[in-house]
Amino acid sequence: MSKTLFEKIAARELPAQIVYEDDRVIAFRDIKPVAPVHVLIVPKKPIPRISEAAPQDEALLSHLLSKAAEVAGTLGLNNSGYRLVINNGPDGGETVPHLHCHIIGGRHMGWPPG
């Protein structure tokens, strides 16, 4: 099977500004940021989207979320706050079919989202 866009970034086949990496996840700056801080944190396992995660992915999903919070902290967002977003499927606005969590901060965000 061909690699996803984000697998290619993790394999250094495509450039990205990597801000965190371990054996299970990688975090890098979004190419088209919607806020002063916009980072994607991605499991290296190419789960297409959260709705397709399997029960055996539970520990990985937990790791993804706790590392998202840790990375947000290292990016200086703990005091001002931030938003974690996972887009799933067409109505969710998903454009890259490899599960990822957006870490967005550095400006105030409204609710509900658009």
* Interacting residues toward ligand 5GP by CB under 6 A: 5, 14, 16, 28, 30-32, 40, 87, 93-96
CB of 32 to ligand 5GP, least distance (A): 4
CB of 36 to ligand 5GP, least distance (A): 15
Q: Which is nearer to ligand 5GP, 55 or 112 (CB)?
A: 112
CB of 91 to ligand 5GP, least distance (A): 12
Residue 49: CB partners within 8 Å, gap ≥ 6?
Answer: 88, 89, 94, 97, 99
Q: How many Cα neighbours within 13 Å face the side chain of 112?
A: 1
What is the rounded distance in angstroms from the CA atom of residue 104 to the CA atom of residue 81? 9
- Which listed residue (38, 100, 102, 108) is catalytic? 100
- Residue 17 DSSP SS3: coil
Residue 100: active-site member: yes
Q: Which is nearer to ligand 5GP, 13 or 56 (CB)?
A: 13
What is the rounded distance in angstroms from the CA atom of residue 114 to the CA atom of residue 110? 9
What is the rounded distance in angstroms from the CA atom of residue 70 to the CA atom of residue 84? 12
Q: Which is nearer to ligand 5GP, 55 or 111 (CB)?
A: 111
